[in-house]
Amino acid sequence: MTSIVTSFATVDPFDGMTGAAPAQAQNLVGGQWVATDKTMTVPDPLNGEAFIEMPDTRDIAPFVAGLRSCPKTGLHNPLKNVERYVHLGRVCARASALLAEQEVEDFFTRLIQRVMPKSWNQARGEVLITRTFLENFSGDGVRFLARGFSNPGDRTGQQSNGYRWPYGPVVLIAPFNFPLEIPALQLMGALFMGNRPLLKSATTVDIVIEQFVRLLIYSGLDPKDLDFIHCGGRTMGRLIEEASDVIRLVQFTGSSDVAEATSVAVNGCVRIEDAGFDWKVIGPDFDKAWVDYVAWQSDEDAYNASGQKCSAQSILFVHDNWAAELLPRLAPLAARRRLDNLTIGPVLSWSNDEIKAHIDACLAVPGAELLFGGKPLDGHTIPDAYGAYEATAVTVPFDALKGEHFDLLTTELFGPFQVITTWGDGDLDDLLGMLERMSHHLTAAVVSADPEFQQKVLGATVNGTTYCGMRARTTGAPQNHWFGPAGDPRGAGIGTPEAIKITWSCHREIIMDQAALGDWETPESM
């Protein structure tokens, strides 16, 4: 590795991280990087070698103590330690400059590939988004993020000031599918607003965010500003229960079952992004000039990163006007995906048996047919614990979504699979009813150039990020305003000032009333 990378990194994703020389991970607690007596190994998702050795943390006391060390008023707020806003802006500037170095960019890109196999472009995209995020909040960006407001009072000497106020001790639990981008943006947002987070990522990929935290510390972040833990889910659950009396907020990204259990443990003090069964509707205004593009975008939305995106296209509603031209184009696009360039790769949360069971259940629906795919990948060394499946699509009759099969056909399979159905001119009301009935309203796309049709669908749906137009997509969310589910009062967002403020701080109003008493007499009782 280069001198720049070795200044902060402790692993080598290019020439290291093998069964013979596994990467060594550590916890960060109380400002110190520490190992544990007991360790656990992580298998390489491409060959099964134990290529990471990490703490199997059982002693939760130091992490509970870390949470208890932070007051409800946070490490800083608009009336306390305000210099930290500027300091964190400088940390962002230094860290973003490091990520702009080619050696550092390549380091994180390859590290992501090693633990969450996806194409180089997909992995590099995480690094670029993270760098841009840090650039956006460099300098005075953090201070401006915390901007509040003031209003005149009822009389001279009185003024009402609204502040963005931290929660203080918080917990951040990040997913496996974006091992750098999601936890980095969530972590920085928590820090910006004055919180002290305890950070945990998925054990299969958390070496990535560990190395990013090391980059931040090298860039000037005080290592006492957060704790970072490697541990299994049961240990984390025990930790949350032990510290539930002081944890002020949990941001969780992962399965619905764990999300609900976490919500109970912390009495609802949780922000959740737990699933995304995401739809794309292709409208009636067929345009042959756009067929190839819409087909390509539909393939990308469903299958890049092997469908392991919460914004992945899970169901495609194709108007009859498009079906004859569009559907035959999808199979050849899916067939281009190869394991050697990771345009298709391991599915980390579903085994082949589980994937097959879901596909078979969908195919058992009357009228359902396999459009393409439906078989495990061959000629690989991916361990059995992970899935390895072709890009797959099952077509179902539109009417099948009206009745008893709805829940099955709208269950997210976090992998390279989608349901496709066609609809006609008389079906729009039923289609809108299906979109209303779905849960987890994360992303969606309305593919149409017809303003009237666009308005009708957009006005009747609630997805947090919805694309509209002939280029509309479900995935690749730009986060210009918000990325999170709509309609969920516990929904969390990442990335933008709006999302950070809503997730990681609450509103506080302070009314200053300091004028002299003057000529005052006791009024009548009221």
pLDDT in tens, 101-127: 999 999 999 999 999 999 999 999 999
Other beta carbons less than 10 A from residue 485's beta carbon? 25
**Residues comprising the chain, all counted:** 526
390 catalytic per annotation: no
Exactly one of 310, 362, 390, 468 is catalytic; name it: 310
pLDDT for 480: 63
pTM over 0.85: yes
| Residue 397, Cβ density class (10 Å: 0-12 exposed, 13-18 middle, ≥19 buried) | middle
Q: What superfamily in CATH does domain 24-150+160-275+489-509 come from?
A: Aldehyde Dehydrogenase; Chain A, domain 1 (3.40.605.10)
pLDDT for 166: 95
pLDDT for 385: 86
231 catalytic per annotation: no
Exactly one of 273, 300, 390, 412 is catalytic; name it: 273
Please say whether the dihedral angle defined by the alpha carbons of residues 231, 234, 240 and 242, taken in this order, is positive or negative: negative
pLDDT for 157: 84
Domain with CATH 3.40.309.10 in the chain: 278-468
Domain with CATH 3.40.605.10 in the chain: 24-150+160-275+489-509
The CATH number of the structural domain formed by 278-468 is 3.40.309.10
> What does the DSSP assignment read for 370-424?
EEE--SB--S----TTSB-B--EEEE--GGGGTTTTHHHHT---SSSEEEEEEE-
pLDDT for 99: 97
CA 392 to CA 370: how far, in whole Å?
8
CA 250 to CA 269: how far, in whole Å?
6
Which segments in the chain show pLDDT lower than 50?
Answer: none
Strands 149-152 and 39-43: unpaired
Nearest to 515 by CA among 162, 153, 150, 148: 153
